[in-house]
Amino acid sequence: PFQVVGGKVKKPGKRGRKPAKIDLKAKLERSRQSARECRARKKLRYQYLEELVSSRERAICALREELEMYKQWCMAMDQGKIPSEIKALLTGEELGKAQQNSAKLAKAGKTEANSSNP
């Protein structure tokens, strides 16, 4: 029943260290603490998910409103009317492009003038 390995007598049975006598009260307290921490993590996770859902719902509402606005614009244009918002966008873009082009030309003129002067 006994084995001799490397000069030591081995008893048959379980391997590894025998579990130390764990204080039952300490073990229960650790278990309770672990459960408290688990519940706290779960609560935080649910709060995060609820905030995420509400922010996505707000984004969906904003996108639906934007889509409805575009539908109204399309219906107006189908009737031959150009909505004032589109007119403003078109004139604003044209003005913006003209301002950008003039700014580019002004910068180009400055760099050419600087490079020609020693």
pTM for the whole structure: 0.49
User: Domains in the chain: how many in total?
Assistant: 1
Identify residue 49 by its one-letter amino acid code.
Answer: L
Lowest-pLDDT choice from 4-18, 29-43, 58-72, 84-98: 4-18
Q: Decide which of 88 and 31 is more confident.
A: 31
Is 109 part of any domain? Answer: no
- In this structure, is residue 57 part of a structural domain? yes
- Domain with 70, as residue range(s), is 24-94
Residue 65 is assigned to a structural domain of this protein: yes
Asked if the structure places residue 69 within a domain, the reply is yes
Confidence of residue 118 (pLDDT cuts 50, 70, 90): very low
What's the Cα-to-Cα distance from 48 to each of 10, 41, 45, rounded to whole Å?
Answer: 55, 11, 5
Domain membership of residue 12 (yes or no) is: no
Six-digit token string for 15: 């391997």
